[in-house]
Amino acid sequence: MTAMEAQAQGPVVSVIIPARNEEACLGDCLRSLVAQSGVAFETIVVDDHSTDLTREIAASFPQEQVRVIEAPPLPEGWTGKNNAVTTGARRARGQWFLFTDADTIHLAGSLPRAVAEAQDNNADLLSYSPEQIAVTFWEMATLPVVFAELARQYPPSMVSDPASPIAAANGQFILVRRDAYEAVGGHAAVAGDILEDVALARAVKRSGRKIRFRYAPDAVRTRMYRNYRQLRDGWTKNLALLFPNPGRLAAKMLALWVIPWGAFLLAYARHHWWWSAICVLTFVYLVTRLKRANFAWSREVLGALFGMPMFAYLLLRSKRAHANGRIPWKGRTYSDKPAILATGH
């Protein structure tokens, strides 16, 4: 069957992109998607009441390449992203749904390879953790710590193991069979969940279906946040939900970080070689601890020096925001009760 014949029968994959004020990155994302080949697919951008040029950028692509639809008014108790992706799924025609974010870049040939990988592994849901692009100082220092701890909390091998109860997914790339998605109720079943990607993965795994999760620099990359404020607010929204004991983890991170610095000060004050040895060894341990985050060694060094206290701060900030029931994100304020407290465009 030729690609044209396959397209005539309907797309194999419906790529669904929720977009709210994404003018900085949406164009690059769409260019990387429309260049895909080897599988029949459609691309749907769901404009979530953007106030910038998001819709115009999406509409600048030919309609046969990118379909632009508008998210309906936000229902009570829903998050904006869940409302947008549910809208896209209802209009999609594919046998598979790929939910991906506007800040992602999809490498050449990644879409057909992902479908083949899911089929070869009998996975109903395949999720990739993208290669993370870090540009500013706080991105470079903080992201290695965050992703190293996420890899500890959600080991990909255990997430992919049907016998393990651990489930996770990265909302930047979730490829899911349409029938499996609809069987568990889709995003409508987790409408109020701020951490909708993990909630969807848990629903799929609880249903007895197989999920597969891995780090995939060969398929997709992303720059999640473009300045300190975005980074702070984004992780404030998520960290207390990702880690079951954020306060305890924050204390652990600070304690680990203090040890080499304390040994350094004692070595300087007392001139004992063993304090120098403790300083070096514990610092090497901290850098090694960040290896599983899949960043360059220079980023791991920055993480060990500055990222660990920042991560502890973000954990505590997230814990406090969720305890207060007010989590701001993109002009809306959410509660993880869940219910939307206030909205704005």
All domains in the chain, ordered by first residue: 3-130+170-226 (3.90.550.10), 242-342 (no CATH)
Strands, E assignment, the chain: 13-19, 41-47, 67-70, 96-100, 104-106, 125-129, 131-132, 173-177, 211-215, 220-222, 327-329, 332-335, 339-342
Write out the E strands in 113-235: 125-129, 131-132, 173-177, 211-215, 220-222
pLDDT, one tens digit per residue, over 153-163 is 999 999 999 99
In sequence order, the β-bridge partners of residue 165 are none
| Average model confidence (pLDDT) across the chain | 93
Split at pLDDT 50, 70, 90, the class of 276 is confident
Token pair in block for residue 35: 């260049």
What is the average per-residue pLDDT within 62-74? Answer: 97
Q: At what angle do helices 246-270 and 273-289 cross, to 10 degrees?
A: 150
pLDDT tier at 339, thresholds 50, 70, 90: very low
Helix (H, G, I), strand (E, B) or coil at 300: helix
Could you tell me which residues come within 8 angstroms of residue 46 by beta carbon, excluding any fewer than 6 positions away?
A: 16, 17, 18, 19, 69, 70, 71, 84, 85, 87, 88
What is the rounded distance in angstroms from the CA atom of residue 318 to the CA atom of residue 267?
36
